Amino acid sequence: MEFTFYKGVIAYQGTNYKGWQSQKRGDTLQEAFEKMILYLWGITVPVQAASRTDAGVHAEGQVIKIFLPMIPIPVLLRLVNNHLPSDIATISLEFCDLKFSPRFDAKKKKYCYTITKKRPLPWDAPFCYHCTDFFDESKLYDMASVFIGKQDFASFGSHLEHGKNTVKEIFFIEINEVMPAVYQIFVTGDSFLRYMVRRMVGGILRATTKKYSKEWLIDTLESKNPRNHCYKVPADGLCLKSVEY
């Protein structure tokens, strides 16, 4: 049987996974795909992804590069999805070049963070952050505007990424009240540091309160200190919406 590389778009609920990347402890999304390939075709091939989403983070438009047999794509999609856990779905597959890198060829990534001031219904709870602390929703966009542009985001990444390039560009930030007291913050950028969106959202929320301010948020950004006390919101509310090439 002949095999080739495919570009795939996948969706998943990240609640039960320790993130995308394989690790020694806990189930990961990468392992789920590699186990599926091993079970169906008896080969072990690493599956690459555009974003190494963290534990608990969801995706609607994660992009992967995967090595699969050359059979009709509708048949291949059915086979793959029938042998993946029910909280993972492969949306589409298309042939791709051997040199294609879902991570390094990406031009834009779009994330969405969902916050609710009211207690969510049980089926919504895994996909949003129930924020019980006060924040002023009327100030959200003004605070978020601090992050637009090309800047050093070291203060909003992880100290574990010491030595990496921390200069990133945020193209757009959009904030919508999708239901009464439910807000979605969409962030589109060229790439992101580990925890970056979650720490940005934490900073935005905190800056709207009386104890903090826009100036505090600007000073935090300019300090380039990942060990600051900027709050990192929970993973539940974060979803990778799309990746552009």
Cβ atoms 115, 131 nearer than 8 A: yes
3-class DSSP string for 63-80: EEEEEEECCCHHHHHHHH
The three state secondary structure string of 118-147 is: CCCCCCCHHHCEECCCCCCHHHHHHHHHHH
Q: What angle do CA 48, 158, 130 make, to 5 degrees?
A: 90
**For 27-35, which contacts have Cβ atoms below 8 Å and span 24 or more sequence positions?**
29/53, 29/88, 32/84, 32/85, 32/88, 33/64, 33/66, 33/84, 33/88
Query: Which residue of the set 27, 54, 105, 190 is catalytic?
Result: 54
Helix, strand, coil percent content, the chain, rounded in steps of 5: 30, 30, 40
Residue 27 appears among annotated catalytic residues: no
User: What phi-psi label fits residue 23: left (phi over 0), alpha (psi between -120 and 50 degrees) or beta?
Assistant: beta
Cβ–Cβ under 8 Å, residues 37 and 68: yes
Q: Tell me which residues are annotated as active site.
A: 54
